[in-house]
Structure formats: C-alpha cells, structure tokens
C-alpha cells in the first residue's frame, strides 16, 4: 500500500478567488435567466454564466456541453449550405 499525500492547503487568496467566481457565475446565470422573460441577450449571457461556474462545478460543465451541442444542431438547421447539383443549379434544402 502506498501512503496518500494529504491534499494541498489553499491559500486565502485562492479561497477568495473561488468564492468570487462562484458569486459572479451565479449572478450572471441569474441575469441570463431573467433575460429569458425580459428583453435581452439571454442566449449569450446564460452560457457565459455556465462557463464561469464550469470552472468550479461539474454540473455546470455538463449543462454547458449540452448547450453547445444543442446550439450546433440549431445552427446546422438554420445555416445549412445549399448543395449544387451537377447542372449548376442550387438545390433547395428539405
């Protein structure tokens, strides 16, 4: 059996920085959720809040990845490129 090393102690600055990231992340996320009902760029602010929280929490990382996958699917639907046929005419998407 190998002896496990004790976890490294965090400095007060690291602890304070962690709490600032958590408070900022939840604040930005809450602001984005409010923007869903009120006018504002909620679809930009919510992922920013999740990205800040993803530095500390695994659940935020999972939601951010799901958001990315969903936005990629949505982008492929709206920004689908038209394929050219052999005769040179652009073919319409379905």
- Which candidate, 94, 70, 65, 66, places its Cα nearest to that of 80? 94
* Residue 5, domain member (yes or no): no
* Residue 91, domain member (yes or no): no
**Domains in the chain, number:** 1
* Residue 50, domain member (yes or no): yes
Residue 81: pLDDT above 70? Answer: no
Tokens at 50, concatenated: 């999740």
* Residue 20, domain member (yes or no): yes
Per the structure, the complete domain to which residue 67 belongs is given by 14-78
pLDDT attached to residue 83: 57
What would the mean pLDDT of 43-58 be, rounded to a whole number?
A: 94
- Which candidate, 60, 57, 36, places its Cα nearest to that of 48? 60
What would the mean pLDDT of 63-67 be, rounded to a whole number?
A: 93
* Residue 52, domain member (yes or no): yes
pTM of the model: 0.70
32, exposed or middle or buried, with CB in 10 Å at 0-12, 13-18, 19+? buried
pLDDT attached to residue 74: 85
pLDDT top residue among 76 and 13: 13
* Residue 60, domain member (yes or no): yes
pLDDT, tens only, 17-27: 999 999 999 99
90, exposed or middle or buried, with CB in 10 Å at 0-12, 13-18, 19+? exposed
């Amino acid at each position: 059996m190998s002896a496990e090393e004790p976890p490294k102690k965090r400095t007060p600055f690291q602890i304070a920085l962690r709490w600032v990231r958590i408070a900022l992340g939840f604040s930005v996320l809450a602001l984005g959720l409010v923007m869903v009902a009120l006018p504002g760029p909620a679809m930009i602010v919510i992922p920013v809040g999740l990205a800040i929280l993803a530095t500390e929490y695994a659940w935020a990382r999972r939601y951010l990845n799901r958001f990315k996958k969903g936005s990629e699917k949505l982008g492929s639907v709206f920004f689908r490129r038209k394929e050219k046929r052999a005769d040179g005419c652009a073919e319409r998407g379905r």
